[in-house]
Structure 1
Amino acid sequence: MTAPDPPALRVGVVAALPQTAPPLVEAVQALGHRVPVVIGYRRPADWPGHVLGEHDLPPGVDLGIPFSTESVAGLLRAYAVDAAVSYGYPKKLPAAAVTVPRLGTVNCHPSHLPSYRGPNPVGWAVRNGERTIGVTWHRMDAELDTGSVLARTTIPLDEEIWSFTGVNSRVLQAASELLPQVLSRLVRGEAGEPQPPGEGSWAGFFSEDYATVDWSADAARIHTQVRAWNIAGHHPRVQGPVAVIDGSRWRLRRTTLQEPPPGTGRRITCGTGRLWVLAADPLD
């Protein structure tokens, strides 16, 4: 028996990027709910790309840019939201914020929680050779990615995906398909399934020990390193993967293990095997 649709809700969206907020707003609105506000994020000084702006949102949706996460609670309270949905926000929300909506706040995390908690779940999944990733909606609590699970699914993580944007579109599609179930459970007051205590793994930002390409390593390992860094996206402190080619430093953007058409890419002989550098940015 199919659960009835929940009544129309006022849903706040917490998302910082133009790749994440608009699709999430559309998914909520398509279910008949109203999105009065999107909580965005102030541009960091070192942020290389576009951050969410008011022109990215549909008419009737306000954009709130808090000075700090301590201001998020006040914004959600001011818009009197019944529930809030979050995806890809770059800062941990305080407990005072996630408890403002009367039905609670939920977050979409691209892993099978409790595995790969933290800010870089897909990057670590690629680094570890995973061929699939989870998509989990969970209640938000005082800790990070530890709340009870409301819905989850699995999507492929194949070799064709090379960027955060590519992963994000698949995650959001799967997340949107789960939203009716998630919101229905919120309306019914269901707590969700607790994550197993004492289990899980942490997926933090990559560190310096993974930032430099060692050409004496196996070609497949280097290829995975390049893909993992590019899917992980912007790093606030460490730049990678950095390789030396002909005495100059380059940040590698795309490689392949299969010989490309003539005149394409730069062939590198590695410790084991060969790969071709298809795209790179000079650093010197």
Structure 2
Amino acid sequence: MRVVMFGYQTWGQRTLQALLDSGHEVALVVTHPRSDHAYERIWSDSVADLAEKHGVPVLLRNRPGDEELLGALRDAGPDLIVANNWRTWLPPEIFDLPPHGTLNVHDSLLPAYAGFSPLIWALINGEKEVGVTAHRMDGELDMGDILLQRAVPVGPKDTATDLFHRTVGLIGPIVTDALELIASGRAVWTPQDRSRSSFFHKRSVEDSRMDWTWPAEDLERFVRAQSDPYPNAFTHHRGERIRIVSAAVSEGRYGGTPGRIFIREGDGVVIVAGAEARTGRLPGLVVRRVRTEDGGEHAATDYFRTMGGYLTARP
């Protein structure tokens, strides 16, 4: 088959590599220009560089739909478009152009976690598994019929970085298997169960702000979901922003006001957590390591020299 690829960052680069290795002809690649957005500087392997290395024509677009791009697509004459991590909506004159339509590869187990940053949101929410879905693109973002899915378990200490490496390794096999099914006429498309759908927005600075009324178990996952190189979970101490690099759920139960810097436990410092913390029946969050705005990283037991005071959402 002749294939056109739309994609960006490492997800798109891995997809393009799978297409190049598949034996199908890659006629054109469309990718986004480099971005300064915090989440788009992470996992930023270049789709354009890989395409150019293999002599595949490349077009750079923030958004599709202009006449030059539409003309290039018609000239390429694809049997199939494959997309992964394309950051804006593709119009029907593009996704319906090839005879086989457009195959989108998304890093969640659809219909859950459509949209953006699915691994981070899934880890925050305590999901037991994550994965990758290959589905047909239609007019609703990440809602088209499913062809293939692959899943991996989420371990109790996994970070979003761990899950990225585990799921990005699924891209090559799922793209290869999907193309084989489509090319052979054996593809079976399954409609998504819309009653199980969820859609998540792009993350921004506000989404990393800690809320000490959350239970400690949720906050511990929140910290793991924003592991390096992602922007870390942050809070404020004495008016200064600090980032929580490592944390755990306390063994003891602690009562009081959420955000109170309370007591040492093990190798960290307990912060009172949970909306019902006043009952004294809830664990706190043991903060182990923090990072200050100057980039310095400290053991929490060194940073919090005295107990008392509060961590707050804002200065």
Report the counterpart of residue 268 of structure 1 in structure 2. 269
Q: Distance in 2 between matches of 1:280 and 1:75?
A: 48
- 1:126 CA drift (Å): 0.7
Residue type matched to 2:293 in 1?
P
Q: Distance in 1 between matches of 2:75 and 2:228?
A: 36
* Contact 2:120 2:160 (8 Å CA) reproduced: no
Residue type matched to 1:64 in 2?
L
Report the counterpart of residue 140 of structure 2 in structure 1. 143
How many pairs does the alignment contain? 262
Report the counterpart of residue 280 of structure 1 in structure 2. 291
Superposition pairs of residues 107-126 of structure 1, within 5 angstroms: 107-126=104-123
Q: Distance in 2 between matches of 1:36 and 1:62?
A: 7
Q: Distance in 2 between matches of 1:191 and 1:216?
A: 46
Q: Distance in 2 between matches of 1:68 and 1:229?
A: 28
**Correspondence 1:186 to 2:182:** yes
Q: Distance in 1 between matches of 2:169 and 2:58?
A: 23
**Correspondence 1:176 to 2:172:** yes
Q: Distance in 2 between matches of 1:136 and 1:33?
A: 21
Residue 212 of structure 1, aligned match among 199, 209, 213: 209
Distance 1:197 1:274, change over 3 A: closer
Residue 52 of structure 1, aligned match among 46, 51, 54: 46
* Contact 2:17 2:172 (8 Å CA) reproduced: no
Q: Distance in 2 between matches of 1:274 and 1:199?
A: 31
Q: Distance in 2 between matches of 1:222 and 1:176?
A: 33
Q: Distance in 1 between matches of 2:171 and 2:133?
A: 8
Cα RMSD for the two superposed structures = 3.2
SS at match of 2:81: strand
Q: Distance in 2 between matches of 1:10 and 1:126?
A: 37
SS at match of 1:11: strand
Q: Distance in 1 between matches of 2:91 and 2:7?
A: 15
Report Cα offsets for 1:233-260 as digits up to 9, x if no partner: 57xxxxx6321135411344x313289x
Report the counterpart of residue 240 of structure 2 in structure 1. 248
- Which consecutive residues of structure 1, in runs of 5 or more, have no partner in the other structure? 1-8, 235-239, 260-265
- 1:279 CA drift (Å): 5.5
Residue 32 of structure 1, aligned match among 1, 4, 23: 23
Residue 33 of structure 2, aligned match among 32, 42, 50: 42
Q: Distance in 1 between matches of 2:211 and 2:193?
A: 38
- 1:192 CA drift (Å): 0.8
* Contact 1:249 1:282 (8 Å CA) reproduced: yes
TM-score, normalised with respect to structure 1: 0.77
Report Cα offsets for 1:11-43 as digits up to 9, x if no partner: 2221111x2233222212222112233211134
Report Cα offsets for 1:110-165 as digits up to 9, x if no partner: 2222112211322221111012113211000111111111111211223554345x
SS at match of 1:257: strand
Residue 84 of structure 1, aligned match among 81, 85, 91: 81
- 1:109 CA drift (Å): 1.5
Report the counterpart of residue 6 of structure 1 in structure 2. none
**Correspondence 1:200 to 2:197:** yes
TM-score, normalised with respect to structure 2: 0.70
- 1:173 CA drift (Å): 2.2
**Correspondence 1:133 to 2:130:** yes
Report the counterpart of residue 63 of structure 1 in structure 2. 58
Q: Distance in 1 between matches of 2:65 and 2:32?
A: 12
**Correspondence 1:162 to 2:148:** no
